[in-house]
Structure 1
């Protein structure tokens, strides 16, 4: 299969259907399982290519069983799987585990979800739970293809993680608009002082925030940084936003840079209105008497619609964990994420 265009998800589906499922049925014909390609890996998001195959790619699968049978099934697979299948090793080391072993991850549905999220979503999520989630952690449970779900538990968990509650959604949207507003005029101010490098750095920060905001507006969980722009390009209207943000990053002077940023902000404000949310037209305005551009009260419009008193009591403009910090070591650790949101 060297040189094959088959994706990791295709490979996992075939591996389950042709190897793992028959082996499980031979062991226990009545065994109910869910099977999917979940967890880490570009193939979970559908972004894998030939380069993806140099590590952590191959015969990976998630099998979910209930009634505390995960250790039994894991041991069965380790013992009974063939050494290779279709030219791929069934046992290999990974970047997080140097042990050479089979890579069908076996757990209960709730246990698997908790390993990614830091809590068991089948019990219902509290406000601190929602705030501690990252888009990537949710995608590791919800984005990958499901090949079979006999017990139905995985499907229910994925449905419960479809999106934030409405007021938490508005709070997160307002946090991104607030972040834009805080430094939007600084793109021009740094440039006016002759600091084009500083202007470009600030603008690049805004581009990342806008990509995150675009996902929120479309109720799509944003992936981590490597795939954020590519994922945004798949959103409705993502092509126009991509062009505007390219202009920001390509700009060689602060005036064209801030003009492109303003165009992107107007696109996002238009999308916000199309989603049935309050918006402003225009969403940007001159910044006092200076030749700079600021963001109007977009955040305030959203927070005014929040009715849940617990959400209304949250600090304005702060947002969930991934809006507070972009430190990877923090965002991949559920305990540290909870500390960020004060729980």
Structure 2
């Protein structure tokens, strides 16, 4: 049984009766939300060695949170379907039940740093990672009595249009800046350096693939798997994998250029500016570079003055940093995207 199916049975067969026995008309929502590979439907036998098991998110009114949590802590039996209802997460010593009881606002703010049902600022949108959003929108919902999860998820369907353009432009700007460096390093005999830059560019292209597909990107462990499942991205996946397999820089840049051509075609299909081809020669050198005009036309089409004023090429928090300590904490993410000292030049 996978984690999603387990969570559904846990809710329907055990948690629901415990709740309704005490509060017959308790308004609530429930699902397998938050962290964990099972939220994405990607857990397997190996996933069970830590932080896997009887897990559930239960959303109730703020005034009921403490009472409901205490009730479950007292009334849950030791096991369900042969699995412990109480166990310690990684880094913890004391076992506890893992029905996360929270209000809708507290749950979503804890992941995102804001409540998307309210007005969200440009900085707010730029401060979220795809993984943070997936912890809210990806998992199965078993009950949504008052529609709160539905409203939250509707608000998180995608970026506002101009923020989307800005994020897409940032990926192209990064590709323009670094693509010829990959080839130059290889041409100089620094194959290791060329491979390191290639890996960075592949990750940028993967982010671009998710963004053009209007899908939130997961954290790196599941990025390749979920890229392969994006509709119409099989060719992009194939060419990006070939970049990393390539034995020398010429093959590397050719495979990357093929992936970028496919991404630019997807961009045109999405209704965004897509002046082709995706790459061109870099001065008089035998290197390819992503066309600067692509990012420039995306930026030129931004109408929102607040988005237009953003530093070009800085982007969202997950385009600015790969630091897990930053990306997994909403206050640090918000602080980074709001830092005025980070400019085009800095």
Smaller-chain TM-score range? over 0.9
Q: SS at the partner of 1:220?
A: coil
1:230 corresponds to which of 221, 225, 232: 225
Offset at residue 276 of structure 1 (A): 1.2
Q: SS at the partner of 1:293?
A: strand
CA–CA separation in structure 1 for the residues paired with 2:119 and 2:35: 24
CA–CA separation in structure 2 for the residues paired with 1:326 and 1:285: 29
Which residue number corresponds to residue 304 of structure 2?
A: 308
Distance of aligned partners of 1:259 and 1:81 in 2 relative to their CA distance in 1, 3 Å threshold: same
Which residue number corresponds to residue 253 of structure 1?
A: 248
2:69 corresponds to which of 52, 68, 74: 74
Contact map agreement 2:62 2:102 (CA 8 A) in 1: no
Contact map agreement 1:110 1:121 (CA 8 A) in 2: no
2:215 corresponds to which of 217, 220, 225: 220
Q: State the Cα deviation string for residues 16-67 of structure 1 (Å, max 9, x = none).
A: 0010011111111111110000111001111111110000000000000014
Which residue number corresponds to residue 319 of structure 2?
A: 323
2:136 corresponds to which of 141, 144, 160: 141
TM-score by length of 2: 0.96
1:77-226 residue pairs with structure 2 within 5 A?
A: 77-226=72-221
CA–CA separation in structure 1 for the residues paired with 2:158 and 2:92: 32
5+ residue gaps, structure 1, are 1-5
Which residue number corresponds to residue 271 of structure 1?
A: 266
Offset at residue 102 of structure 1 (A): 0.9
Which residue number corresponds to residue 336 of structure 2?
A: 340
Offset at residue 326 of structure 1 (A): 0.6
Q: State the Cα deviation string for residues 188-233 of structure 1 (Å, max 9, x = none).
A: 1111111111111111110011111100000001011111111111
Offset at residue 335 of structure 1 (A): 1.3
Offset at residue 278 of structure 1 (A): 1.1
CA–CA separation in structure 2 for the residues paired with 1:293 and 1:304: 24
CA–CA separation in structure 2 for the residues paired with 1:176 and 1:98: 42
Offset at residue 123 of structure 1 (A): 2.1
Q: How many residues align?
A: 338
Which residue number corresponds to residue 3 of structure 1?
A: none
Distance of aligned partners of 1:117 and 1:97 in 2 relative to their CA distance in 1, 3 Å threshold: farther
Dislocated runs of 4+, deviation >3 Å: none
User: Once structures 1 and 2 are overlaid, which stretch shifts more, 97-106 or 177-186?
Assistant: 97-106
Q: SS at the partner of 1:294?
A: strand
Matched, 1:298 2:266: no
